[in-house]
Structure 1
Amino acid sequence: MNLNQMNAFLAIVETSSFTKAADQLYISQSTLSDRLFALEEELGTRLIQRRSGNKKLSLTEKGIEFLDYAARYIELENEINDWKKAPLLPHLKIGAPQTVNAYLFRGLYRSYLADTYQIHVSSHWNRTIYNMVNSFELDIGIVSRPYQSKQVTTTALINEPLLIVYDERFSDYQKLTDLKRPDQIYIGWGPVYKKWYHQHWDRNIPARITLDSPELLMDYLESEAAWAIVPLCIYQDIIQKNPHIKTVPTESDVHRTLYLIYQMGQGQARNQKIEEFIKSLHDYVLDLEVQNLCTVLGGMGKEKRE
């Protein structure tokens, strides 16, 4: 199959007419019919229902199903053509949880906006990030839950403080024991956090609501007795929007741990890009530590401590 055949099929569907479709594509009706016939032959199924004496065309069931594939085929063809015309720039594919991308590493990504370097940032679940790094779909991953992998290198990166927050217009909390799980807006922040959490609250008692990302958090905090636990980077963001947000003091250290994961291979140029990004990441998290926004872990903080 080819682009001409796909365009012929979609033009027929759009115009409901062989005559109009041929005019639209500036080809003869016989050429149009040949392209459609060749496409149907390759697919092994009829796409357009032709009825003698009835000028109106209709799609077969398979034709209806194929519409989406044809549109995606043309979209991919256009993307490939754009890619061929684009200048060749170094690029790096990075995956992390949404909260890391949108809040914690926003400044790091901004430093790569120069035209001499491209980065592709995407948000995924932890397990998905591991799978994508393992299959070389991502070059670098940041996760909050480590998994066993013989191929993927996993390095402890930072501990980020977690804060217990509430809106003083709707709640008044002074200490940890005031907090009840049925009033909590719960978001999981990884195994290190959960170990601490389950020492204080019964997991068998349901939270008021469970979220998988913090976008709706501010709305839910504006309700009677509501409270939540969030990373420092998110706390800094929400207090800019809501000055009524307060924190509850804790006697023990509460944090989420983030890990850097990557897999070398697939060429020297790629390995060099990964090494360069890790160095930039190293400098960035050290700056965060100086601002008391995190604690750098493992080898990432060695240079500073020496």
Structure 2
Amino acid sequence: MNLNFIPTFLTIVRKKSISAAAEHMYVAQTTVSQRLNVAEKELGFKLIERGKGVKNIVLTPAGEEFLRLAEQWENIYNDLQILKKDGPKLDLNIGSIDSFNTFFLHNIYKEINNTPSIYLNCHTLHSSEIYAGVDNKTLDIGYALIHRNFENVHVKKCFESDLVLIRSGSIKNATVHPLELDPQYELFMPWGEEFKGWHNYWWDPLSIQKIRIDDIHLLLDILKNPVYWAIVPEWIAKTSSRNHDVSIQHFSESPPPYTCYELTHKNPSSSKRSAIDHFHTYFQNVK
């Protein structure tokens, strides 16, 4: 079958009539009908039901199946045109913890969106899932808060920020001591192993926080209640203060910094290595 018929068939389906398809394609209706008849003869089955008084086209069961294949062909054809115009497509699967995805990587995603040759699949995951994904190559780049040893995973520190206290309303003092805070009203987020050790030093690890959270947007929403407080990276606190009524305080007994690690596979393919190098360029520009 002549593949040039596929755009005609898709136009017929999308315009819902042969006459509307012909008008859209700037050809005679008889030309479209002839193309349809020739294609059905070559295929050996009818694509469209014929009947008097039928204004909109109705696909046969075979036509429905052919539509699925035609749409796949269209996607492949479009990808080929992009390949001819822009060269090989660079695609990346990225997994990151929520905080880094939301407040840092989204700036990179916006920049890359203007680059037609790079395609991203972005996922918000827990650190353990990110390590596993990079190890088995379902993820090309990962951003996690913990440092682990995996045989196939290269780990490097890529970002660091002080941890500060935020709560709603105005606060006079620029600093706060951990023991001034009631732990039952903390909106707790896990910022890595070193932070956990610092946290357990100042507050009983067996004490129960009313709310534990792993979503930074949910944290900021609950924080509107002035009874609650939270410990977050300073760069998140400053960004949040521009859009929310929150005050920032530093600790007189400082917690360890928020540290984010970048994970990549030790043996990526050449195409993946090229895509990762491009991503690193954007990362450094945003950083």
TM-score, with length taken from structure 1: 0.60
Match of 2:235 in 1: 233
1:210 maps to amino acid: I
Matched with 2:11 is 11
Q: 1:277 to 1:75 in 2, by over 3 A?
A: closer
- 2:178 paired with 1:179: no
Q: Report the counterpart of residue 168 of structure 1 in structure 2.
A: 169
Alignment equivalent of 1:223, drawn from 225, 231, 235: 225
Q: Report percent identity of matched pairs.
A: 20
Deviation at 1:67, TM superposition (A): 6.9
216-225 or 198-207: which moved more?
A: 198-207
Q: Kindly report which structure 2 residues correspond to 1:96-245, keeping only aligned pairs within 5 A, or say none.
A: 97=96, 99-100=99-100, 103-104=103-104, 123-124=122-123, 125=125, 126=127, 127-128=129-130, 131=133, 134-135=136-137, 138=140, 140-146=141-147, 149-157=150-158, 159-169=160-170, 175-177=177-179, 178-181=181-184, 183-194=185-196, 196-197=198-199, 200=203, 202=206, 205-207=209-211, 210-212=213-215, 214-215=216-217, 217-241=219-243, 244-245=246-247
Counterparts of 2:154 and 2:42, CA distance in 1: 49
- Distance in 1 between the 2:188 and 2:60 partners? 48
Indicate conservation of the 8 Å contact 1:143/1:259, yes or no.
Answer: yes
Shift of 1:54: 5.1
The answer to whether the Cα contact below 8 Å between 1:170 and 1:223 also exists between their aligned partners in 2 is no
Are 1:253 and 2:255 counterparts? Answer: yes
Q: Aligned partner of 1:32: which letter? A: L
TM-score normalised to the size of structure 2?
0.63
CA contact (8 A) 1:143 1:258 kept: yes
Q: 1:52 to 1:151 in 2, by over 3 A?
A: same
- How far the C-alpha of 1:152 sits from its partner, in A, is 2.3
CA distance in 2 between partners of 1:191 and 1:40 (Å): 66
Matched residues in 2 for 1:74 and 1:156: separation?
43
Alpha carbons 2:134, 2:153 under 8 Å: kept: no
Aligned 8 A contact 2:145 2:192 in 1? yes
Is 1:184–1:228's contact at 8 Å kept on the other side of the alignment? yes
Change (3 A) 1:67 1:113: closer
**3-state SS of 2:84 partner:** helix
Q: How does 1:256-275 map to 2 (within 5 A)?
A: 256-263=258-265, 264-267=267-270
Match of 1:32 in 2: 36
Mapped to 1, the partners of 2:109 and 2:136 lie a distance apart of 23
Aligned residues: 272
Contact 1:166 1:227 in 2 (8 A): yes
Cα distance between partner residues in 1 of 2:43 and 2:200: 60
What's the CA shift for 1:151?
2.4
The 1:8–1:198 alpha-carbon spacing in structure 2 relative to 1, beyond 3 Å, is farther
Partner of 1:95: 94
Residue 12 of structure 1, CA deviation: 2.7
Aligned to 1:292: none
Q: Does 55-64 or 218-227 show the bigger shift?
A: 55-64
**Paired letter, 1:189:** W
Query: What SS is found at the alignment partner of 1:50?
Result: coil
TM-aligned CA deviation for residue 258 of structure 1:
1.9
Quote how far apart the aligned CAs of 1:94 are: 7.7
Write the distance in 2 (CA, Å) between the matches of 1:85 and 1:123: 25
Per the TM alignment, residue 36 of structure 1 is displaced from its structure 2 partner at its CA by 6.5
Contact 2:187 2:213 in 1 (8 A): yes
In structure 2, give the amino acid aligned to 1:24. H
Check whether the contact 2:95–2:122 (CA below 8 A) recurs between aligned residues. yes
Alpha-carbon deviation of 1:166?
0.7
CA offset at residue 87 of structure 1?
6.5
